[in-house]
Structure formats: structure tokens, C-alpha cells
Amino acid sequence: MYVLAFRLAAKNLLHRPFSRLLVVVSMGCILLINALVFLLFQTFSKSLVEVQDSRYITVYLDGAVESQREPEVVSAVKKVSGVSSAHLISKDAFLENFSRYFPQLSSELATLEADTIPRFIKVKVAAHREQSAQKDLQKIKGVELVESNKEKFSGLIGALATLRKFALVLIAGMSLALLCILLNHFKLRTEFQTQIRNTLSALGARGGQVLLPFAMEGFLEGLLGGGLAALILIAYGKVFESQLNSFFESIGYHPYHFELGGVALALLVIGMLSGMMGSVWATFRAKSN
Amino acid sequence: MITLAGVTKHYSTLHRGSAVFENVNLKIGRGEFIYVVGDSGAGKTTLLKMLYGEEKPNQGKVEVLGQDLLKADAGRVQALRRRMGVIFQDLRLIEDLSAYDNVALSLQTAETPLLTQEKGSKRISLNSYSWKRAIDEALAMVGAGAFSKKKIKALSGGERQRVAAARAIVRQPELLIADEPTGSLDREHTWNLMDLFQKLHLRGATVVIATHDREIVRRVRRRSCVLKSGKLVIEDGLCMF
């Protein structure tokens, strides 16, 4: 049955070739756009995690705190609810870091009095506990000032979260458009397809046997559409990705690397499944009517 | 095997005068060979369609192979069709497939005890070799072996009819229903096909043939019923009305 069903499906595909080509190309384009939006979504998600990781609270130590009391203050900070980590940045460590990032200013900094160089604890806090933790940290003996860089990142976090949602909505919208195109396309059955369905039914074929050639037809059409999208994506990966990445790196942006092979395979599978389901649904509906 | 009891069929509830049948009763036993004879438009095709569940009567009971077709759902009707071989009046061949593939399609959807002569009543499944052999034999028996690889759309009316016959007999069905099976055939092929139906009948199949060709009925003498003005009339046998 499979060989004959495949033959029928292949013959079906050759009917109305222009319309088929149009559907395959539309399908390929929509799947490709979806894949690109998905990659953007991944980029936004990774950036969001990175940005959220960059949020911390700086706890400045009082100048009167002696260096041997510093670990005591750090352990008090760690005990505050919501605190996940606390690292003391000593004067020496601060100087070392400073001279690493701003080597041209390191000699000027060395001339400053040792007391003007801050000692602080870099504290990571769970986002939902940030406000209460800030208040609790302020109460610890030996703490002079508590500062959060929350405001600095809140705009960026909000924007990334919105972009992620927008990407998801776009993917859903494009998927819906693809579904509409496929269902409408498969609904327009040719005389040949009606002939196959009626003949199989008259011969007593089971429901599955009647649907099989149409499922294969949708599968093949989806394979072509998904294959087209996958091919373009792989071609992009081979030809343009390294050039684009080197361009981004030259302007100081380090793009994330994605495994395009996996995305291309997903495109192929999604194409085949959506084509098959669209065709089966349309045949099932036509059979019931 | 087949029972029609008080069957009435009309196509419009508003015009009951246009009834195809009125209170038709007919019994066909297992292994019988019967003709349904009548002029064009007498309702032969409608009667046959009722036997394979494509038409339902407005009144009465139709029982085929132990299945009450009025009560049967679509799945049961399909299961019933898998046990039959039908030569449709409009042939219902798939134009873009070859004669061989059309016959193969019938075999693949069938549920009949094939190759029973060698294996008694035990049902065995065909392997690919015997599958091919069964199809080739069926095509050869109706004289369609020479064009088995040709697409249906490239065949003449008579050739198509022979392929449709091959498709019905390849299943070795319990019940063979043929609607004007010789309408497009020349005399030689007509008698060949009638011989084939008789062979099938001798193997135990029940054969129901609708025809307007009275010469066939005269030459191959079997029980026959005539449809006339919506009534089934006894001509040569056991029909009731």
C-alpha cells in the first residue's frame, strides 16, 4: 500500500504544478522567517540572562572597619535573606582591577591616599528579594552605604523581555499564516484527488488507507518547503555567518553562536509534519462532507 | 447471502411518483448466479448500489453478507466492500495509474480468502511474488495483460472495462457485483468475461450481474430478474414481487 500511496502522492504533486510551487516557496519563506525570529528570540533570551546576571548590590564598608573585621561583615552579608553570593573587593584587589581596565590612570590612582580607595562587597541577590535585602544590608554594623545598579539595567531588561514576547507573537502569527495557507491549499482538491478518494472508498479501503496517499502528498510538499528553508539557512551559515560575525566583532559586539544544523533539521521536520497534518485534515473534512 | 425486503427507493420526498422501486423483495442465496435485467433507467444501478452500500433505501431492509446495511455505520459498510468485487458502471479507475496499479490497489484494500484452493479454508497472506502473480493472472484472464503497464487514460473504453473486471476478480471475492460489465466490450471479450464469471461462480462466489444485453441472459442461462416500472418481475426463477 505504501508504494502505491507514494506513487499516487507523487502524481498528485504534479497536478497544478504552479500552485504547488507557490505553496512550497511560501512555506519555505514562512519557515525561514520563523527560524530567523527564533534565533533572535534565543539571542534576546541569552542577553536577558546575561543582563540579569550583571545586576548586583554594592555594599561599601565603613572606613572605621579594620581589615581583620572584614570577613565578619562578609559573613553577616551572606546571612541576609535572598543573598546568593558575596565577594569582598579589598583595596588591593580594587587597585589591581582598576589598573587592568584603565592602565593609563593607574599611576594617578597610586598617588591617592589609601583611605580614599573604597572597600566594598559585591552582592548578588535574587531579583524578587532585592529591595528587602537592600534594607537589611544597610542595617549591618560596619556598612556605610548600599547601592544597587538595578536602575542602570531595568530599562534594558524591560526592552529585552518585550522583544522576546514580540518574537514569540511573531512566530505564533507566522505559524498561523502557514497553517491557513496549507489548509486553504489542500482544501482546493483537484478532480484527480477526488477520483482517488472516491475509488479507494468504493473499493472498501479503510480510513487510514484513504488518507495515506494524501498524508504522503502533504509530507512530500512539506519536505520540499521545509527543505527549501533549511537549505537557505544552511547556505546563510556557510556563506554569510562568519562575515557578519566578524563585522559585529569589529564594532565591539560579540554575537552568540547557534547550531544552525539543528535549526535546519527542525525546519525540515516542522515542514513535513505541518504539510502532512494539513493534507490529512483537508481530506478528512472532504471525506466527512 | 442477500435479502431485500419491502425496499422502496425514491430520490425526492416531494415527488413520490418518481420512485425507482416500490416494495421490492428479493432473496439471493450463497453461491447463486443471478442477472438483474432491465431497460436503461429501470433502476438496475440503484439496486446494485444498495448492495454495496452506496445508496440507502427510503423504506425496507437490505441485508448483504449478514450485514443489515440500514443499521451499518460507515466502517461496517467499508468492511463489507472489502469482501466484494464490484465492477462499477462508471468503472472508477484511477486515470493516472497503470492498469496493473489499479488492480493492485484493489488487492491491497481487499479482505478475501485468497489462494484458498492450495491452502483449504485457511487464510494466508500473499508474498510479493504471489501478489504480482495474482495481478498478472487477473489481467491475463480478462485479456488485459498486453496493456498492464499502460495508464488508464491511454486505454480505450473496452480496455478500461477489462481492467475494471480484473480489479474485481483479483480479490477472488465472496460476492461479485457487476454493473453492465460488457457494455463496451466486443463479442469475443464479452464471452470471455462471462466464462470468467462462471468460473468464479463455480469456485463458490455469488455473482450478481446487471445487464440490458438479453443475448447474454439467453446464452448463459441463469436465474434472472427483470426490473420494470419500479417493480421486480419474475422472468426465470424465484423473484418475488
**Contact state of A198 with B101 under an 8 Å Cβ cutoff:** no
Tell me whether B92 touches chain A (CB under 8 Å). Answer: yes
Nearest to A31 by CA among A189, A192, A238, A182: A182
pLDDT tens by residue, A153-205:
778 888 888 888 999 999 999 989 888 888 888 877 667 778 888 888 888 88
Question: And the C-alpha cell for A75?
Answer: 559573613
Nearest to B208 by CA among B4, B2, B58: B2
In our burial notation (b when 16+ CB lie closer than 10 A, e otherwise), range B198-226 reads eebbeeebbbbbbbebeebbeeeebbbbb
**Contact state of B94 with A205 under an 8 Å Cβ cutoff:** no
Tell me whether B111 touches chain A (CB under 8 Å). Answer: yes
Tell me whether B164 touches chain A (CB under 8 Å). Answer: no
| Whole-number pLDDT of residue B13 | 58
For chain A, positions 82-141, list CB contacts with chain B under 8 A.
none
Beta bridge partners of A124: A85
pLDDT tens by residue, A232-276:
999 888 887 777 777 777 776 777 777 888 999 999 999 999 999
**In terms of CA atoms, which chain B residue is nearest residue A198?**
B92
Give A1→chain B minimum CA distance, Å: 6
- B interface test, pick of A201, A203, A210, A288 with most B CB neighbours within 10 Å: A203
How far apart are alpha carbons B96 and B93 in whole angstroms? 9
Give B234→chain A minimum CA distance, Å: 30
Residues of B whose CB is below 8 A from A201 = 78
How far apart are alpha carbons B241 and B233 in whole angstroms? 6
B65, B174 contact by CB (below 8 A)? yes
Q: Percent helix, strand and coil across chain B, each rounded to 5? A: 35, 25, 35
- A interface test, pick of B51, B90, B105, B152 with most A CB neighbours within 10 Å: B105
- B interface test, pick of A197, A199, A209 with most B CB neighbours within 10 Å: A199
Give B195→chain A minimum CA distance, Å: 24
Confidence label for A229 from pLDDT (cuts 50, 70 and 90): very high
pLDDT tens by residue, B127-159:
666 778 889 989 998 888 899 999 999 999 889
B238 three-state secondary structure: coil
Which among A7, A192, A202 is the nearest to B88, CB-wise? A202
ipTM of this complex: 0.82
Mean pLDDT by 10 residues, chain B (241 residues): 85 63 85 87 86 89 89 88 91 90 85 50 56 88 90 91 91 90 85 86 89 84 81 60 37
